[in-house]
Chains A and B, each alone.
Chain A
Amino acid sequence: MTLIKTTYNRRSFLKSGSLAGGGMILGFSWLASCKPTPEQVSNIPKEWFDINSFLKIGDNGMVTIMSPNPEIGQNVKTSMPMIVADELGVDWKNVIVEQAPLNTDIFQRQLAGGSQSIRVGWSGLRMAGATAKHMLVAAAADTWQVDASEITVDAGVISHTASNNSAGFGDMASKAATMPVPEEVKLKETNDFDIIGTDRRNVDGPNIITGKPLFGIDIQEEGMMIAMIIHPPAFGMTYKSMNADTVKSMPGIKDVFPIDVYKDDTEKQWSDAGSIDKLVAIVGESTWQCMQAKKALNVEWEESSALESTEGHDEALTKLLNTSSKQPARKDGNVASAFKKADKVIERTYSAPFLAHNTMEPMNFYADVTAERALFNGPIQTPEFLEKTLASRLGMPVEKIDIKMSRMGGGFGRRLYGTFGVEAAVISQHMKAPIKLVYTREDDMTQGTYRPTYKVKYKAGLDKEGNLIAWHVKGAGSNDDLLFENRFPAGAVDNYLAEKFSLETNVTTGAWRAPRSNFVAGAEQAFLDEVAEAAGKDPIEFRLELFDRAIKNPVGEPEKNDYDPVRYAGVLKLVREKAGWDGSQKNGVARGVSAYYCHNSYVAQVLDLATDKKSPKVTKVWCAVDCGIVINPMAAKNQIEGGIIDGIGHATYSEMTFEDGKPQHKNFDTYRLIRHKEAPKEIESFFVDNGIDPTGLGEPSLPPIIGALANALYKATGKRHYNQPFITEKSVIG
């Protein structure tokens, strides 16, 4: 067993643990989703005992486990409580999951982003379960007057064989809650896990399939009005004036007014990026009435900065890539002299457009602000930061602000930026009434905070034997400099130079699922494919040679290289075996391979395209993943499949373009997202079983698939694809 000091993370755990004996009360979640399913109702305990802030145990042995982090579809609401339950030793069928309240004094990092929930939460969640188990055992030992070390726990039953005593968790819960919180607890060995590593279905599944009100947009409160916003039609425009009178008299309309979302002295957080500071608000009785008023209202806007275009962005990025950086991000050896010596030099440029997040649930937030307190409820990936901004904007201490975390209809990074929460607050404050702010799809898609547009130029030099002797990469993006200069192939090439540039634009940008990696992986892996071909080598062999170099004799200081070449090579070998890759192309099938590391996890993929149809069709994807211990394989595979489909879809079909600062796509009639027909027929996932502490899965499967697709498209069409979306190069799949 692993002995772990519970002082390991005071902030996340002990503070709550020390309160346990004092009978800390955690109310039931507001979420209807958390109500027990009908067959459990008869098992509802008469009394609950708070063991610590993560869990409480009922007198009948039912256990309620709090899921600390916001749920955006990454399934943490199931997987995080699974970790607690396993260390506790409870039968999963006796577990009820509730969304925890926002309280960062008790729970650490209540944030959905960077695929970090499981990785960061791992120890704290295990400790919560193990500590509770320790206290239950201590209670039993005291009751039976036996040595605690002789007591065993299995599926919610505490037993002492020698004295022939046994009790359920429910029998000991009352006493356990009064036991001292241990200073250290024993954690399970990884091969003793009962719940971790097993398939567990989404705890919200029954509520999702019956249409229960789970999402922010579903919130209905007494006296609540609907609010909508109108934002400037173009980046570079700002509010000037309007004539609201005719609209105010429309049926159901309560008020129409401009709002200052932020004041000059508002302390903004990073999560306020992409804010539009002046908007028009419309408040009415119903959504349809607000929509009608929105259409009828004439607002005048004025130019406040340059009105940019896609053509302009493209030219500016090209220009940046033709300059040299005074301070390269990383430099090993001497690329200039290596290119002179090289037998072959290949240079290619790749590009990708801005992308909207397009969560299926448009932005929305419920706010009820009075002079005394402010209540909020809605879909937010960064509730802690929103709370700070709200405190500053409303001039109210955080203690008087309560934010509840609703289930989110998708995040993909968009809901890291909670400016809509601030908008809702200001509108509610003005109306002196509770409101639910709802964006239309058009508001949502044209508001900004996009995935930046990118361009990257790669240059590689090969010697006569086909060895990679030089690598020069220049990356540029809008408000983002794109490169991870210390990732592969840094460390595997003697002469390496990385230069990065950021283009300032007024089109707002933000994190979009697997930031930077979502473009750079596809470009890099497509380029490597072309270089391997020029070297006359199998693309997997070529990569493995590079990893071998990075393992045996890494270039640069090894600790500087931000990846583990052994794990990287591991996933590539695994996918090679599973896909039966032998380098040959079969009739009617075009194959591509790709591998990438991001968000602490390693992924390698092989993608097959059927080429016998009018347009190529993705028939199968094999995906090998090293994310350490897999908490919930069924859900993990779901994330992998989603990332793959998301990557294929956006690289093939999606783009946001601009003219005179105006987003050229406003809804799904012209902004194309991948659909059923275009999705892969089959995806098979494989995990490396290595017992390493778990890392994230929400993002890592997306970036490399774009490379695998590009490489397969080349085999299918004989044409390399350099510019996303690939459909603009007349390559259609589906």
Chain B
Amino acid sequence: MANFSLKVNGKTQEVDVDPTTPMLWVLRDHLKLVGTKFGCGIAQCGACTVHLGDNAVRSCQLPVSAVGEQSITTIEGLSENGDHPVQKAWLEEDVYQCGYCQAGQIMNASAFLKRNPNPTDTEIEDAMNGNICRCGTYTRIKKAIKNASSISNA
């Protein structure tokens, strides 16, 4: 066990955990931030996507010891009131069915749009391909990302 000081959603938090513990479980079990979801544990489904700095990463493969000074943003910290353009677009498009994968989809989409504010369909598909939606809301996700891109650019 070791102590780590983590910057999560703008707050500094201390945890005492095994250094190999993936951030996914630090967030869920220790910091009680359960919006980040467990899907596969091997970086194949994208349900656990969070932002490390500005980059979307799979928190199931990110050991707490590798985080250091970098800031972490989870779905709970993406916006104050759930009004990030991507969140608004998700609401508008009524994207979700079961909803379980959507935090990961939203975190991936928001990091992607920051890098590429005016993506083409193919760029969206490429960027989002690592995020599985078992309910099959892919066409709505794509529409929402396009809408979010126009909201942010408005």
Contacts and interface: CB of A to CB of B under 8 A. Distances in A.
Interface in A13-61: 38
Contacts of A669: 42, 44
A681 interface: yes
A201 B97 CA distance: 11
Interface stretch (A333-341, A357-365, A496-504): A357-365
Contact of A75 (B35, B90, B97): B97
The 8 closest A-B pairs by CB, nearest first: A211-B35, A409-B100, A73-B98, A645-B136, A211-B75, A679-B138, A73-B97, A668-B44
Interface stretch (A142-150, A285-293, A418-426): A285-293
A644 B136 contact: yes
A223 interface: no
Interface in A274-297: 286-289, 291-292
B100 A677 contact: no
Interface of A: 38, 72-75, 199, 201-202, 204-206, 208-215, 217-218, 220, 226, 251, 286-289, 291-292, 358-362, 407-412, 438, 440-441, 634-635, 638-639, 641-646, 649, 667-669, 673-677, 679-683
B29 A638 contact: no
B76 A211 contact: yes
A676 B125 contact: yes
Given A289-B18, A360-B47, A410-B134, A681 B139 contact: yes
A251 B100 contact: no
B142 A288 contact: no
B97 A360 contact: no
Given A206-B82, A645-B139, A649-B136, A639 B97 contact: yes
B45 interface: yes
Contacts of A408: 98
A495 B79 CA distance: 65
Most buried by A among B38, B42, B97, B99: B99
B91 A215 contact: no
A346 to B, nearest CB: 33
Contacts of A214: 99
B149 interface: no
B59 interface: no
A210 B82 contact: yes
A682 B30 CA distance: 42
Given A211-B75, A642-B136, A204 B25 contact: no
Given A211-B34, A410-B134, A638-B94, 15 more contacts: A205-B94, A208-B90, A208-B99, A218-B34, A286-B30, A288-B21, A291-B41, A361-B100, A440-B41, A634-B94, A638-B137, A645-B136, A669-B44, A675-B138, A679-B139
Nearest to A75: B97
B38 A362 contact: yes
Interface residues of B, number: 62
A607 to B, nearest CB: 14
A412 B98 CA distance: 11
Given A201-B91, A668-B44, A677-B129, A226 B35 contact: no
Nearest to B97: A73
Contacts of B132: 360, 668, 673, 675
Interface in B124-154: 124-126, 128-142
8 contacts: A209-B87, A211-B36, A220-B34, A288-B18, A291-B41, A409-B100, A646-B134, A675-B132
Contacts of A286: 17, 21, 25, 29-30
Given A210-B82, A211-B75, A677-B129, A74 B25 contact: no
A288 B25 contact: yes
B98 A211 contact: no
A676 B104 CA distance: 14
Contact of B99 (A73, A288, A683): A73
A287 B140 CA distance: 33
Nearest to B79: A210
B81 interface: yes
Contacts of B56: none
Given A210-B76, A217-B38, A635-B94, A359 B134 contact: yes
Contacts of A212: 35
A209 B34 contact: no
A209 B102 contact: yes
Contacts of B57: none
